[in-house]
Structure 1
Amino acid sequence: MKFPIVLILIFSTLLYSNVYEVVDSFNKKNYQGVIEKTISIPDPGSETAGYYFLYRGIALYNLEKYSFSIKTLEQFISVYGDRADTDLALQYLAMSYYKLENSVKAVDILDKLTYSKDKNISNTSMELAKKIIETKSTSHDLKKLLSKVTNKKLYKSIKKEMKSLDLLVVLPLSGENSSGGNDLLRGMNLYIEKNKGKFKKKIKLDVINSESSMVNMVKKVTKKVENGKYDLVVGELTSKFSGALAGITSAYKIPLLIPVASQKILSEISENIYQLSSSSYTISQKVAAYAIDSLKYKTFAILSPMSSEGKEASDGFITKVQEKGGDIISQEWYFDSTKLSRQLKRIRENVLILDSLDIQDYMEADSIKTIPANGIDAFFIPIDFEEIQNVTSQFAFYNFNSKLLGTFGWNDERELYKVRTLIDSLVFGDESSYSTNNLEYREFTEDYREKYDLAPSRLAIKGYDILRLIHRELLKSEDIKSALKDLESYEGISGRLEWNGNRTNQNVELFKYSRSKGIKKIEYTETPLDSLAPLDSLNILNTDSLSIPK
């Protein structure tokens, strides 16, 4: 923020004509020229040298070199503290501290300037101090300032703001992931704007742009949490970035809400990490349970990408299949979804249980077309939607007479329609989603379109719902950590949240795709194993009456 500068110089007292060049460069906003002309300070301690320091310090501020500006202005103030333009130097010094996110130092200086004889400086200092207190000071900053400020208006402003909730939001607002980051932030801002004045506590958003860079995110977040205390952190988008963020927030014991990253292990980093999305592991487990309980499938093969998401999804699926007594006949991994022939051949061999003499006969192209591989009930393929066409086309060639199962990567009806003849009766899982019949959802979409002239994305809905969760559930308690720990479920407009002490959303929805009906939701609730009847209560044959054949 820049403010008008009124510098009254009595040039008749100047000893060096070069000062006129400095003034001329400054008035023309040639700040780099000012720096170059003030490299050498003549006669330190003289009035002329004072002008050099002052112009140089302000020029450095305008060039966004705030650390150098602070050093130069503090030199000026220490030597020329009794001059009429000292208050101007102090104001720029305060603004330099503010730009470096040192709110305490900035407000402390501005507080003193509210008593300046220069009404312009006095008024603008009051305005600036209030803005920093209301928008950029954490509760930790405010506690420090409470014992420092002397202006009664600023003291009241601090007392009022100490009741606020300090929320640090970490998102990619530029770079390759910026689209999603900006969508989520727009949703959050819309909720705050729509519910202004309705909060038990004022919610203060301090937003960090990670720039889609891990290094930048870590540097920025570490600096923020070192300089101020936050009640809650929200971020990031991907599992890798969220994992790094979780490491930082755990070290400082700050609760973290992860909006969409789905790796199960994230919530295991510490007891203060909470995932709003269902993990790949949880989704895969529910798909497996439904396949065995409702579809009566018993045998399975897995084709999975060699990625952390693919491994987690496969682990969840295998665990549940084994738990329910099913069999995994074959499992294969791939790096490139366009080249799956080797993996699919090996699965076909395992399914047909071929010995080395039969392989050549049964793996010829003509044999593949005429002899289906009937040994498995379903294929579990946890892929991204971008790979659907590649995988399904190759899968069809190897003549597997099996149904397909998947996770959230399959939830794209446009992509499924392109391969509809190959995936009839596909079943897949996804996290809980919004209902377009929900009245509040409809109001949100109307408000979003009106404000941003855009249709809200899934991330925009999630951002809105995060603030709704904080407002309606977490602010009920004076302690955010306790509120998060005690929260078991929440019905949001973006879907249902079920933590149940797990800190990763356990709510999963199942869907079926058919050529005639498209994607339709499946109603299913898994029956816990411990609720099944024990073996001795079942009507089975008494083995005591059997004789052992000789």
Structure 2
Amino acid sequence: ALQSYRAGDYQQAFTRFRELSQANLIHQRMTASLLMAGKSLYHLGQYSEALSFLDRLIQTFPMSQYVDDAYYARAQCEYRLKQNLQALKNLLWILENSPNKPLVDKSIHFARFLMRKEFSLSQLRKIPSLAKGENSLALITIELARKEYLQGSPSRAVSLLNEFKNKYPNSSWIYQIDQLENDLKKYKKRPVRIGVLLPVTGLYAEEGKGILRGIKFAQMASKNNSSAPILLKFQDSQSNMIKAVKAVKYFASEGGVSAIIGELESQITAGVGALASIFNIPLLAPAATENELTSVGDLVFQLNSDLERKGAAIAEYAINKLGLRTFATLAPADDYGLEITASFTSKIDELGGRIIAQSWYYGETQDFAAQFKAIREAAFHYDSTDVEHILKIAEEQGKDMDELDIPVESIDAIFLPIYTEDIKYVAPQLALYNIRAQILGGEYWDNLEVLKRPQIARYVNGVIFVSDYFPDENNRTFRNFRTEFRIKMGKTPERWEVFGYDAFQVLHKVISEGATTPEEIAKKLNSLENFHGLKGKITLKGSNRVNREVNFLQFINDRIIKLEE
């Protein structure tokens, strides 16, 4: 049996060792056979089955000379089964009980590997309770102090080491403890590591590169006026969920990051946000807007407002600031259109307004005749007083009136959360169907180049819309930023660069206030309010970690201006 095992024929070795271990009479080779049967199964990848033989050895023959080896083999199997905590317990048992120095040294090496690679800082902080004696507590203390140090808490690391020294002043581990403590005392301000996860290849490469440029520029600017240096660790998500998930695992296991900025798309952001929360790493989403994104994990922070907030905000503004009371909506029948319109209409109902008509369109529609006819019909059904008056005057004057000559004036505002590419079709048809209402919109109206086109501008002058982004040309801070960015980065900053710049500046603020560990950064982010970013204000406090601030903008006379809230 042993010869088969040494030759690598583990199936044959297991068969022979199992026969020896199942003898009716206990014999001197039974314990060795149980151990070797378990080790043969380990090599065959049958980890759960191997544990049954190893457990039988430990429980039936606790005084056997092979028990220590059985505990080590158990740890190997449990590691393969991803039962890392149980594996660590077995290794710590060896440290406290085994006289076999080579095995103890091997167990220390294995335990260190587990604590460094498989346990987050918050998980490792719970491990000291597993220690059953001086040796296991020493190893845990050293590894915990090391991880505290690496994640930016040197004072906490020194405190842990001193606690052990006070408890075991004559320990054989004191030399190692002193060595580590001396290293920590030489500590110079260690950079806080921030993971950056963005697509710089793939479908959204240009947008990802823009955000990355903004982050890098913010980092360069912070170096001159910061006592809290920040080191960026970048991973390319390639606009791919699998690549993004692997990147977060890297950040958690090897990157030693205290926070992550990323990703770009809402769906990928949700996936990696949930995983980052499991690893206890806060994640800042610089661009995502999807509803309930932060519900995937307690450490996901959304720097743009979501669609629910945008729809409700423009509704509140229409009723409370503009004094409007009757509304119609026209939106794409996709997730974006459905979600923002549902939020808008719900808030209108809540505030006592009236939704007179709702219309939808599908795909790349260019003809909106059916939708606008339905809105006109609903408006006249709601209030035909003006129609009757207009017809009476026309009759008295002997004029023939076309149906579209009669304006719709019973609708105070029409909410058009449409895409930028649809504005050129919707705007002139809205005028054609003579619906004289204040136009309200979502963030896709925020495109001055499109709105200024002569064939569009005359139809949409005065439109009011919400946006996460407003580069205030009258603000000296923004003008200085733009000038410096052009000089250092060789490019004029646009929306994506500003999103990246603000994301870094939010983290820089909380880190400068003393937050360096993931837990400390998350705590600071949860209380963030009235942070003045270049894109607008950011408030995460009391809003389920979603920015509750929006910009109310208006296109008027070929300019986009910010309205008073």
Q: Which of the five TM-score ranges fits, normalised by the shorter chain?
A: 0.5 to 0.7
Normalised by the length of structure 1, the TM-score is 0.62
Residue 239 of structure 2 corresponds to residue 212 of structure 1: yes
2:296 to 260, 265, 269: 269
CA contact (8 A) 2:289 2:306 kept: yes
Residue 467 of structure 2 corresponds to residue 451 of structure 1: no
> How many equivalent pairs are there?
379
* Partner residue, 2:562: 521
Q: One-letter code of the match for 2:352?
A: G
CA contact (8 A) 2:214 2:497 kept: yes
Q: How does 1:168-317 map to 2 (within 5 A)?
A: 168-196=195-223, 198-317=225-344
Between stretches 441-450 and 174-183, larger displacement belongs to 441-450
2:443 to 380, 401, 408: 408
* Partner residue, 1:88: none
- Paired residue secondary structure (2:457): coil
Q: CA deviation at 1:307?
A: 2.4
CA contact (8 A) 1:377 1:402 kept: yes
Q: Indicate the RMSD between aligned Cα atoms, in angstroms.
A: 3.5
CA contact (8 A) 2:217 2:489 kept: no
Query: Against the structure 1 CA distance between its residues 438 and 401, is the aligned structure 2 distance closer, same or farther, given a 3 Å change threshold?
Result: closer
Q: CA deviation at 1:302?
A: 0.9
* Partner residue, 1:351: 379
1:512 to 530, 534, 554: 554
Q: One-letter code of the match for 1:302?
A: T
Query: Against the structure 1 CA distance between its residues 520 and 190, is the aligned structure 2 distance closer, same or farther, given a 3 Å change threshold?
Result: closer
Query: Against the structure 1 CA distance between its residues 158 and 244, is the aligned structure 2 distance closer, same or farther, given a 3 Å change threshold?
Result: farther
Consecutive unaligned residues of structure 2, counting only runs of 5 or more, are: 1-115, 118-145, 162-172, 383-390, 392-400
- Paired residue secondary structure (1:211): coil
CA contact (8 A) 2:285 2:302 kept: yes
Q: CA deviation at 1:335?
A: 1.8
* Partner residue, 1:378: 413
- Paired residue secondary structure (1:420): helix
Normalised by the length of structure 2, the TM-score is 0.60
- Paired residue secondary structure (2:292): helix
CA contact (8 A) 1:301 1:328 kept: yes
CA contact (8 A) 2:527 2:540 kept: no
1:493 to 501, 525, 534: 534
Q: One-letter code of the match for 1:394?
A: Q
Q: How does 1:381-460 map to 2 (within 5 A)?
A: 381-418=416-453, 419-431=456-468, 433-460=470-497
Q: CA deviation at 1:259?
A: 0.6
Q: CA deviation at 1:372?
A: 2.8
Q: CA deviation at 1:398?
A: 2.4
Consecutive unaligned residues of structure 1, counting only runs of 5 or more, are: 1-102, 105-132, 355-361, 525-550
Decide which structure has greater helix share: 2
Between stretches 223-232 and 210-219, larger displacement belongs to 223-232
2:499 to 462, 467, 471: 462
CA distance in 2, matches of 1:494, 1:183: 14
CA distance in 1, matches of 2:555, 2:534: 24
CA contact (8 A) 2:526 2:541 kept: no
Q: CA deviation at 1:333?
A: 2.0
Q: One-letter code of the match for 2:489?
A: Y
Q: One-letter code of the match for 2:444?
A: G
Q: One-letter code of the match for 1:231?
A: S
- Paired residue secondary structure (1:352): helix
CA contact (8 A) 1:368 1:399 kept: no
- Paired residue secondary structure (2:223): coil
CA contact (8 A) 2:197 2:247 kept: no
CA contact (8 A) 2:252 2:279 kept: yes
Q: CA deviation at 1:424?
A: 3.1
Q: CA deviation at 1:156?
A: 4.7
Q: One-letter code of the match for 1:497?
A: I
CA contact (8 A) 1:321 1:327 kept: yes
Query: Against the structure 1 CA distance between its residues 432 and 499, is the aligned structure 2 distance closer, same or farther, given a 3 Å change threshold?
Result: farther
CA contact (8 A) 1:167 1:203 kept: yes
Q: CA deviation at 1:138?
A: 6.7
Q: One-letter code of the match for 2:437?
A: S
Q: One-letter code of the match for 1:222?
A: K
